Amino acid sequence: MDGQHVANALNAFSKWPASHRVSEAVRCLARRLTSEPQLCQSMEAWAVATALNALSKWPDQAKARDAALRLAERVSSEPQLCQSMEAKHVSNALNALSKWPDKEEARKAALRLAERVSSEPQLCQSMEAQAVANALNAFSKWPDADEASAAALALADRLTSEAEGNARLRQSMDAREVTNALNALSKWPDKEEARKAALRLAERVSSEPQLCQSMDAQAVANALNAFSKWPDADEASAAALALADRLTSEAEGNARLRQSMDAREVATALNALSKWPDKEEARKAALRLAERVSSEPQLCQSMEAKHVANALNALSKWPDADEARDAALVLADRLISEAEGDARLRQSMGAQAVASTLHALSRWPQESGLHEAAWCLAARLGSAPLEWSTFEFGQTGQIANALARLGRDEDGNAVLARDVLMG
């Protein structure tokens, strides 16, 4: 098999990524790509993109990853190969490379392709809906890279343009593509191009019931998270509240949606909904999710440190609601527990998580369980890895205010709050 045949075979195998026999076949072909330089080098642009796209279906397989990174090196080091890729090849390659964002070979190749997207209007203009969504998703893996930012904003411009082809592009995106684009655009919340594009997509979510209804649990959580980056925009608020309505509805599909959210999705949705604490739709949706946290031990137990911090911070926006308090008490139990997983959870909280969690817990100063959890966290303050120097000024203020609220009648706690302020 030559390079083109290998690419076609990998593409065929990628249709059945869960099959063990297929996985073994891919492993064999991937081994050839890493051990036979001539085979890898013989691949044309389309074959490289096709092989990358196929190998990305096994992102955790070492052989597939190594083969993909070998191909990525060609993309970044061979201008002619990179330049030969058409829009669909560029999109497929980017989508694949984004599966290994921490690998330098993948980053270099993706940024080389990004340069083409931002500097070649015809290439950018020829990308269809799926390609735009995949490219945006890929660029969002490297949001601090100038090349990725420039390319993402060039695509964002297409989503806001009223030119016939661009308006049709925006309207042709399905629920998954809209969500991927929103999730990506939210990585540049301060860029006007990203904001405008996200708000145009938000208009679709709020005005098209079928689009809103077709979003699954992951899509709803990610879309809510994206809209929360622009909470003061009417378009973002309207779209978020439309999704919130789905989380409170007892219609069969919506009840199933709410129940199918995993720990990350529940925490993400709660955190997003808390950006509209005065909106009844957001409050109701958050409290329905809070009921799951308080009544499903497995869901609560599977939350990582950042999920616990985000959920508590969100629930604290509605301190007078029984559902919010009950969920907070269950999460606080994990911060008190000496079970191995819970002790590790407590120890893994960084400065931001500790500050926001203490601030949240202090919203219920009369609850003994929340009080105890707060002081379990406070006991870590000042010692490695939570030396006072690791906290930003705003976080220090949060901690001081929280400890003052929680310990207003305890001399030792008052001293600790004062020490926080004095740093």
- What pLDDT, in 10s, does the model give residues 363-416? 998 888 898 898 888 888 888 888 888 889 899 888 888 888 887 544 455 455
- What pLDDT, in 10s, does the model give residues 216-256? 999 999 999 999 999 999 999 999 999 999 999 888 777 88
User: For residue 320, what are the CA distances in angstroms to 252, 316, 317?
Assistant: 30, 9, 9
Q: Residue 422 pLDDT > 60, yes or no?
A: no
Locus of tokens 């990998």: 10
Task: Output the pLDDT for position 220.
Answer: 97
Question: Above pLDDT 90, what percent of the chain?
Answer: 78
User: For residue 401, what are the CA distances in angstroms to 54, 200, 373, 396, 417?
Assistant: 53, 40, 16, 9, 8
- Provide the residue ranges of all domains of the chain, joining segments of one domain with +: 282-423
Task: Output the pLDDT for position 346.
Answer: 84
- Average pLDDT along the chain: 92
- Predicted confidence band at 82 (pLDDT cuts at 50, 70, 90)? very high
Task: Output the pLDDT for position 323.
Answer: 97
- Give pTM, 2 decimals: 0.91
- What pLDDT, in 10s, does the model give residues 304-318? 999 999 999 999 999
Question: Above pLDDT 70, what percent of the chain?
Answer: 96
Q: Residue 347 pLDDT > 80, yes or no?
A: yes
Task: Output the pLDDT for position 412.
Answer: 55
Single-letter code of the amino acid located at 215: M
- Predicted confidence band at 340 (pLDDT cuts at 50, 70, 90)? confident
The whole-number average pLDDT for the span 41-51 is 95
In this structure, the dihedral spanned by the alpha carbons of residues 31, 36, 40 and 41, taken in order and rounded to 10 degrees, is 170
The whole-number average pLDDT for the span 44-56 is 96
- What pLDDT, in 10s, does the model give residues 245-304? 999 988 877 788 999 999 999 999 999 999 999 999 999 999 999 999 999 999 999 999
- What pLDDT, in 10s, does the model give residues 86-134? 999 999 999 999 999 999 999 999 999 999 999 999 999 999 999 999 9
Residues whose CB falls within 8 Å of the CB of residue 130, separated by 6 or more in sequence, listed in order: 91, 177
CB 312 within 8 A of CB 357: yes
Q: Residue 46 pLDDT > 70, yes or no?
A: yes
Q: What is the 3-state secondary structure (H, E, C) of the chain?
A: CCHHHHHHHHHHHCCCCCCHHHHHHHHHHHHHHHHCHHHHHCCCHHHHHHHHHHHCCCCCCHHHHHHHHHHHHHHHHCHHHHHHCCHHHHHHHHHHHCCCCCCHHHHHHHHHHHHHHHHCHHHHHCCCHHHHHHHHHHHCCCCCCHHHHHHHHHHHHHHHCCCHHHHHHHHHCCHHHHHHHHHHHCCCCCCHHHHHHHHHHHHHHHHCHHHHHCCCHHHHHHHHHHHCCCCCCHHHHHHHHHHHHHHHCCCHHHHHHHHHCCHHHHHHHHHHHCCCCCCHHHHHHHHHHHHHHHHCHHHHHCCCHHHHHHHHHHHCCCCCCHHHHHHHHHHHHHHHCCCHHHHHHHHHCCHHHHHHHHHHHCCCCCCHHHHHHHHHHHCCCCCCCCCHHHCCHHHHHHHHHHHHHHCCCCHHHHHHHHHHHHC
Joined tokens for residue 245:
């309505």
CB 420 within 8 A of CB 374: no
| CA 122/CA 116 separation, integer angstroms | 10
